[in-house]
Structure 1
Amino acid sequence: MANSASLDGYVHFEGFDSFERDAFDRKKIRAGMRKAGRLVMQKAQMNLALGGGRDGYPVSRTGATLDSIKAKVSRSGFLVRVAPTKTGAMKAYYPAYLHYGVKQGRRLGKLAPGAGVGKSNRRAKGVRAQALAARASGEWRITPRDNYMADALQDSSSQVQRLLAVAFADALS
């Protein structure tokens, strides 16, 4: 599992790159994108519901994360984004905490008045680096979970490519 920004959740298919966007019927493209987004959304919800606790996925206790997975077609219609969104049932956007994890201990804050060195109340040389290293080597409060969204796209990428190829071919005529 990679905790960095990557293109795991991206699908590209060849064959229609030489055409201008104006050549396509946008209604048909948007319909195809909605179908592809719905397919990936349902697969991600299934991954989360059935694989909870196993396969490194988070456990679904209340179903708020399941309900938060939405597919949104861009304004131009040539892109669909499937992702968990913050809903009213969530106090914070916790799918990010589940994916990236949370380290034990708190962030370094300002020093208390008079606790530092000198007139500007700074930390002594090397103290900040030691504190950051201690926190980084510490335990996880919430361990990072696998990316069920990228896995859903990877599992259904051939179906998505087929759906979009048909939609783009229909939109040309």
Structure 2
Amino acid sequence: MSDGVEVHVGWTGHSRIDFDKKKIRKVMRARGRDIQKEARRLVAWRALSRPGEYPGRDSGTLWRSIKSKVSRSGFLVRIAPQKTPEMGKDFYPAFLWYGVRRQGGEQGSGWRIEPRENYMTVALDKRREVSENAIKAALKDALIPR
């Protein structure tokens, strides 16, 4: 039979620690906007895109659909293209990412629309280090010993 182990972690000189969620929300909003701007920059050039490239900007619908939203708790930020009324019934950012296969006996390659580069993951990767450092600093700053 083994004996139980009890571990207690305490803060010397402080009876409690407060957490300021406003500081976290502020940083999450700022980092979300930064990644949103990077993703929009990647799809902003006005030209028809080729397979494997970032989608080009024809009407600006995709560019405007990239939104950043912080969760109610403030600990999550979601940056993604959103379905808008301009897109009609289909969510076409998915068609750009996954591509569209030809049906039946149509001529040419197997693709009607070949897949494009994933601009969202590239935008996140470009801003990852700066975002992680800012969030770590905000978490450290949000702890308030009393």
Regarding TM over 0.5, the answer is yes
- Identity level (%): 45
Equivalences for residues 1-173 of structure 1 within 5 A: 24-50=19-45, 53=49, 56-91=53-88, 92-105=90-103, 139-173=110-144
Q: Is the 8 A contact 2:45 2:56 kept in 1?
A: no
Equivalent residue pairs, number: 123
Structure 1 residue runs of 4 or more that deviate by more than 6 Å after TM superposition: none
Give distance in 2, aligned partners of 1:84 and 1:97: 12
SS at match of 2:78: strand
- Name the CA distance, whole Å, in 2 between partners of 1:48 and 1:169: 35
Unaligned runs of 5+ in 1: 1-21, 107-133
TM-score (norm 2): 0.76
Paired letter, 1:66: W
Aligned-residue offset at 1:166: 1.9
Letter in 2 for 1:45: R
Question: CA separation of 1:93/1:153 partners in 2, compared to 1, >3 Å: closer, same or farther?
Answer: same
Is the CA contact 2:45–2:57 (under 8 Å) kept in the aligned structure 1?
Answer: no
In structure 2, distance between residues paired with 1:93 and 1:67: 13
The 3 A distance-change label for structure 1 pair 24 and 50 is farther
Q: Which has the higher strand share?
A: 2
Partner of 1:152, secondary structure, is helix
Residue pair 1:51, 1:57 contacting (<8 A) in 2 also: no
Shift of residue 50 of structure 1?
Answer: 3.5
Change (3 A) 1:101 1:34: same
Return 5+ residue gaps in structure 2 as ranges. 1-16
